[in-house]
Amino acid sequence: MKRREFLAALALTLAAGCAPGELASSPIKTNVLRPPGAIPEDFFASRCIRCGRCAESCPYRSIRILDIRHGFYAGTPVIYVEKIPCYLCMRCVKVCPTGTLQKISQKEVRMGLARVNRRACVTWNGTGICRSCYNACPFREKAIKLDRLRPVVIEEHCVGCGICTHACPVNPKAIVVEPVYAFSLSSQRAS
């Protein structure tokens, strides 16, 4: 990219409301995840060639491509689970030409980890009965169970697809998905 093109892109980004520090910060956060099989976030943007094949192959249109407002991460794929979760069809991993999305099975997926906010969940706080997250989970009774009708996430079996978050009728959501890499970074800092 030439200097003039870079400065024009920077001006557009700043005009869109991004601070310069946001241009290099990862867009991955609660309920915003990488597609299945993604390599660690620290290497993702440098390995992804931004071809868009993953988004094109997704029959559910779950995968979105980030725009220029995301600076260094522009052109890379994400899934906004509150809008359209990942339905684990695994087509994206089959078409990735660089291995940025590694070919893994549905059972091996670890995009994130669902967390129940017990204060916001109507079943946990006693203001109603809801089984939306439980009923929606593709790994019901493995990844999410009911304890006296209250949802409990089983960490070792949750794939982080976000279907539970998408199904939650509470606003803000009573169940959210934290990206996997957030846990690996925090555990590395602790050691």
The domain spanning residue 118 has which CATH number? Answer: 3.30.70.20
Q: What is the pLDDT of residue 67?
A: 94
Answer for the pair 124, 150: CB distance below 8 angstroms, yes or no: yes
What is residue 186's predicted lDDT score, i.e. its pLDDT?
38
In a domain, 170, yes or no: yes
Task: Quote the domain boundaries for residue 142.
Answer: 108-180
Residue 13 confidence class, pLDDT cut points 50, 70, 90:
low
pTM exceeds 0.75 for this model: yes
Q: Per residue in 47-76, is it b (16+ CB within 10 Å) or e — as a string? A: ebeebebbbebbeeebbbbbeebbbebbbb
Do 95 and 51 reside in the same domain of the chain? Answer: yes
The number of beta carbons lying within 10 Å of the beta carbon of residue 44 is 19
pLDDT tens digit string along 76-132?
A: 999 999 999 999 999 999 999 999 999 999 889 999 999 999 999 999 999 999 999
User: According to the model, what pLDDT value does residue 132 have?
Assistant: 97
- 43 and 95 in one domain? yes
- What does the pLDDT read at residue 180? 84
Domains in the chain, number: 2
CATH number for position 95: 3.30.70
In a domain, residue 91? The reply is: yes
Domain-embedded: residue 39: yes
